[in-house]
Each structure stands twice: as C-alpha cells, then as structure tokens.
A and B are shown apart, each in its own frame.
Chain A
Amino acid sequence: MTRNHLISALAALIVLLLIPFVVEDSYTRHVFIIAFIYATVAVSWDLSLGFAGLFNFGHLAFFGIGVYTAAILSSTLELSPWIAILAGGVTSAVAALLIALPVARLKGIYVVLVTFAFGQLCMQVVLSQSQWTGGAAGMVRLPYLTIGEYSFIRDFKFAYYYVALFILTAAIVTLLLIARSPFGKSLRAVRDNPDYAAARGISVARQRVMVLVASSVFTGIVGGFYGIYLRVASPEVFGFGVGTLVLSMVLIGGTGTILGPAFAALALTFATEAMVGFRGMEEARFIIVAAAMIIVLRMAPGGAIDVIGRLGLAASSATKPLEKGKT
C-alpha cells in the first residue's frame, strides 16, 4: 500500500464528498450509492479472498443475510431501521462464525464447494420460510431512514448518499487497518507460504475464522442498508448475478489490494448502469461483466493472475497435480 495509493484514495474521497453538491439529479446519485454498496461488499470480499487467500464463494450470503435481517427487524418487528441495519452486521458475523467452523479445516476445492453451498442454502431458507421472508416474492415497502423529523426519501437521496459513503469509508479504513496490523501481516505470510503457519505455530483455522467474521461485518451492514434504501428485500441477492458482478470487481480491481476493488466497483457500476438504459440490455450487462471477468483472467500476465497464483499455493495440498511445461 504505497503512499500514492493512499493519496489518490483521499483525493477520491474528497471529490466524492463534494459530488452531491454538484450533482443534483436523483438517478446519478442513486448510481453512486449502488456503487458504494457494491464497493463495500467487494472490499470485504477482498479481505478473505484476495488478502487471506480463502476461497470463500459464499460471501454474497453475508450481504443477503444483512438485507433480510434489516427487512425483518424493521418491517415485521418494527424496530428502528438504523438498528436493523447495524443488526445486519451482527447476524452476518454470526453466520460467518457458523460457516467458518467447518471451513477452517478444509482444503482447496472443499472450501469453494462448502461456502458456495452455504450461499445456496441461505437462498433456500429464504425461499422456503416465506412467512418470515416473503418467499420468492420478497418483502416490500420496508421503512425508510429518518433522523428526527428529517426524512431520507424526500431529499433526492442526498442523505442516503452520505450514509452509503460513510459505510464504505468506514469499511475501507477498518480493513486497511486490519491489513496493516500484525494479524494482517501474518495472514499474508500464511497465504504466500503455507508452511510458515506450521513453523510459527499459527493456527490457520483460527485465522480463517477471524478473517471470515471480519469480512462479513461490513458486508452485512451494507446489506441492511441496501434493503432499507431500496425498501425491498428479494431472494435475488443470493443469486449469481450480483455475485459475479462483485467478484469481477474484486478481480479487475486487483486482489489483495483492498482499495483496488473499490475503484473497480465505481467504474463497473457506472458502466453497467449505463447499459441498463438501453432496452434489452438488462440481461446483457451480466453477460458483459462475466465476459470482462474472463478476459481479465485470460490476459492479466501479472496483476490478478499473479496474486491468484499465490493463492493456489495455499490451497494446493488437496488439488490434483498440475502439469508444468508443455502438456
């Protein structure tokens, strides 16, 4: 994390803080908000996937859990939406703890499969427990945010913008602090050299649990925010569509960098939202994003592939022997 990166990030933050004064239309602010939300999910995913080298493919489940937590707490139980949003972080953390326990000791492909299946399971639960979750139809007309007399839905998303930006900033700052802490350093060391853990008596299992929980907190909170902001909770949040989109942000932005995925999120969100305007491009944007992900993976000589390459070492113990040189 060079000084230059931090400087550009700070500059970007200042610009972003000023945007709502320059941009007044609701739609553009909306795109920014969505971008901030995705960025928060992406940077959190980068902690577990990129930074710690943990193949967590159920990350989006944390997001969805946050959405539904906020939805149920605010709508059915009529708690304050603010609390509901924060509660999203709590339930996600609990979920992360639960899934981390088995995942902690698994190897390679099993981590992928179990976390992926976990995501699917969450979707199943949401779909089947329809008296709580609204099933396939989801939940609508969730309460919106207010501060005293000030209503968030009357100001053309001005206040929502800042809340979203605040969550993103808090997430990035926290994750960067984690990355630079001794814990973060040992995460990277274990990722790059699995034997290091054994040599230093580090419990990889405990590390994985902590990383998963850390990656889930902001994801859950921003998930809650997403639900409250859109006033809708739908099972689609557990689907491949959002998942692939966010994954491509992590890859294109650069795994293991924390900041990279944030920038990629902004870029990709605007790019894909621009496409939604055209009729028939609704589905196409998912295709384009997926194709972009493939292209990045094919082309990146260093960059994404290189870091991923190091991830491969961490998980290689249970995978098949690979052919070096010519096949």
Chain B
Amino acid sequence: MDGVLIPTLVSGLLLGSLYALMASGLSLVWSTLGVFNFAHGALMTLGAYFAWTVSEQLGWGLGAGFVAGIAAAVVGGVLIELLLVRPFYGNRAMLLVTVMTTLAASTIIERSISIIWGPRLKQLPRVIEGQVSIFGAPISSHEAMIILLAPVVLAALWWYTSKTRSGRSLRAVGQNQDSAALVGIDVPRTFSLAFGLSAALAGLTGILLGSIRFVTPGLGADPLTNAMIVVIFGGLGSLGATAGAAYVIGMLEALLILWLGLYWTPSVVFLALIMILIFRPNGLFGRAS
C-alpha cells in the first residue's frame, strides 16, 4: 500500500491545485456579484486557444502565449459582464437570467472557437520539461510547478483582497453594494474588475491545462463542472473556503481513484456532494444565511 500512497497523495495535491485555480475565479465573481458565471470554462478554453495561436502558430514562445491567452480571456470576461450581466442588475431574477445568458455565452464562445480553429486536437507545450520526484513519486516538472503555483496564486489573491484598496472594494461590494457606493466605490466598475480578474484566472488555468490535456473546444467543460463542485462543497463563500474545498476534493478524488478506479470515481464524488448538501445545505464551510 505504501508504494501507491505517496503517488496518490501527490496526485491529490495536483488535482487540488488545479481545482483551486479553476474555482477561485468562479468564487470571486460569485462573492462580488452574486452571479454564477457558466462561461467560466469557456474562458479557460479561450485563453488556451489564444495562447496556442501566439505560442505555436506564430511561434512567439510560451511567454507571449501566456500574455495573449490571459488578455483574451480578460477581454471575454469584461464583455460578458458588460453585455450579459450588467443589463440585469436589480432585476429580481438576476440569478436565473445570468445563468442562462452566461450559458449562452459559453455556447457561443466554444462553437466560435470550433469554427475558427477547427475541431482537431492541439497541444500547448509544457512550461518546464522533464520530470521530478516528490518523496519518491515521479511527476512531470510542469505538474510540480502547478502544485507550487496554486498556493502562490491563492496567496496573491488573498493579499490583493485583504490589503489593497481595489481588492478590498471587491469584498465591500460583495457584502453591501449600497454602503460601497456611498464610500465612493464605483460599483459597476468594480463588477467589471471582478469579472476581468476572474477571467484572467480562468485564462491562466486554461493555458496550464492545455499542456496536460489536449486543447479542444471542450477543454473548459470538465473544469467548469469541477469548479462548480468545489464551490458547492466550499459553500459559495470566501476564497479561503473555496481553496480548502478544492484541496479536500482533490485528495478525495485521488484516493477514490486508487480504491474504486477511474470509472466509479465521478459518481462517488457527486454522491458525496449530494450527501453533504443534504446535511449542510450551505456547503461544507458555508455559513447558514
């Protein structure tokens, strides 16, 4: 058992890191706007494709690819906020309507990508080539980098939202829009900021995924579901809750794959989710409203 445990834990750490990256953007938009962005996965895909075009097709290297991909995702995110979310502020049904408009946006983005780039599989290069060993478990350097990167990104987000003026304004708007407006915070602009930042995170995640998995128009579909499960587990609350939930689920999934195999794991994770919601309808870490 010992021989498999370490690689499983490392695998769980990787999954948790990926999930944390995937879910943080979603959580940010939810806590600031009270909106669930169903196009979050599509923005990951968008980032991956732009990165691929700049990095591989134009041959300008992965660094430029990162910039292009993240920029493209940010533009996408801001457009979504402006056109598909902002018109519905104050609408009693804002939640449901924005679910539908962002779902539509997701379709538009993914199908457009399919038309423009074609459905054939593409791949992004890894950030670092080679392999390393963590406690005897072999893992690609790229994946090891992701394991290190995720906490850094999360810490940066935490620092941004706790210590900087604009980051604090995001939290303020999420907690009390009127009070935020009355201390001089431009609320609509803050919404755009939240979406843009969330999209940047999505783009980054998409690019990182693009070398572990294939770059296809459906790249963002599974991550969206995973991110969704994470934020539900975490209780749709703070970034901390989301991060915690991400790692818990990552570990859980790795262990389940070890014990039950790949086939049954998604079902069991889902079942666990349902169980949690039955006993704690506000998620694992969520607070009852």
List residues of chain A with CB under 8 Å of any chain B CB: 55, 57, 101-102, 105-110, 112-114, 116-118, 120-121, 124-125, 128-129, 240-241, 244, 247-248, 251, 280, 283-284, 286-287, 289-291, 293-294, 297-298, 305, 308-313, 315-325, 327
Contacts and interface: CB of A to CB of B under 8 A. Distances in A.
B277 A309 contact: no
Interface stretch (B5-13, B51-59, B70-78, B87-95): B87-95
B196 to A, nearest CB: 18
Contact of A297 (B100, B177, B281): B100
List the 6 shortest-distance A-B pairs measured between CB atoms, nearest first.
Answer: A320-B34, A312-B93, A290-B104, A312-B92, A290-B107, A124-B266
Contacts, number: 154
A283 B115 CA distance: 7
A323 B89 contact: yes
B97 A308 contact: yes
B91 A309 contact: yes
B238 interface: no
B278 interface: yes
Nearest to B116: A283
A105 B279 CA distance: 10
B101 A321 contact: no
29 contacts: A108-B95, A117-B225, A117-B228, A120-B221, A124-B266, A240-B103, A244-B103, A247-B100, A251-B100, A283-B112, A284-B115, A290-B105, A290-B107, A290-B108, A294-B84, A297-B97, A305-B91, A308-B96, A308-B97, A311-B96, A312-B93, A312-B94, A313-B92, A321-B34, A321-B177, A322-B92, A323-B187, A325-B90, A327-B187
Contacts of B266: 121, 124-125, 128
B164 interface: no
B123 to A, nearest CB: 19
A319 B99 contact: no
Contacts of B125: none
Nearest to B187: A327
A284 B108 CA distance: 9
Interface of B: 33-34, 36, 83-84, 87-97, 99-101, 103-108, 110-112, 114-115, 174, 176-178, 181, 187-188, 221, 225, 228-229, 231-232, 236, 262-263, 266-267, 270, 273-274, 277-278, 281-282, 289
A318 B93 CA distance: 13
A247 B83 CA distance: 20
B34 A319 contact: yes
Given A113-B228, A116-B225, 13 more contacts: A112-B99, A114-B232, A117-B232, A118-B270, A128-B266, A240-B103, A247-B100, A283-B115, A290-B104, A294-B84, A308-B96, A311-B93, A323-B187
A15 B221 CA distance: 42
A109 B35 CA distance: 9
A98 to B, nearest CB: 9
Contacts of B187: 323, 327
Contact of A287 (B112, B174, B236, B281): B112
Contact of B281 (A107, A118, A283, A320): A107
Q: Which residue among B105, B107, B267 has the maximum number of chain A CB atoms within 10 Å of its CB?
A: B107
B277 A110 contact: yes
Nearest to A116: B228
A315 B92 CA distance: 10
A57 B105 CA distance: 16
B24 to A, nearest CB: 17
A124 to B, nearest CB: 4
Nearest to B188: A327
A55 B97 CA distance: 11
Given A125-B266, A293-B104, A298 B92 contact: no
A305 B88 CA distance: 10
Contacts of B270: 117-118, 121
Contacts of B282: 318
A286 B90 contact: no
A312 B91 contact: yes
Given A308-B93, A320-B34, A321-B177, A120 B225 contact: yes
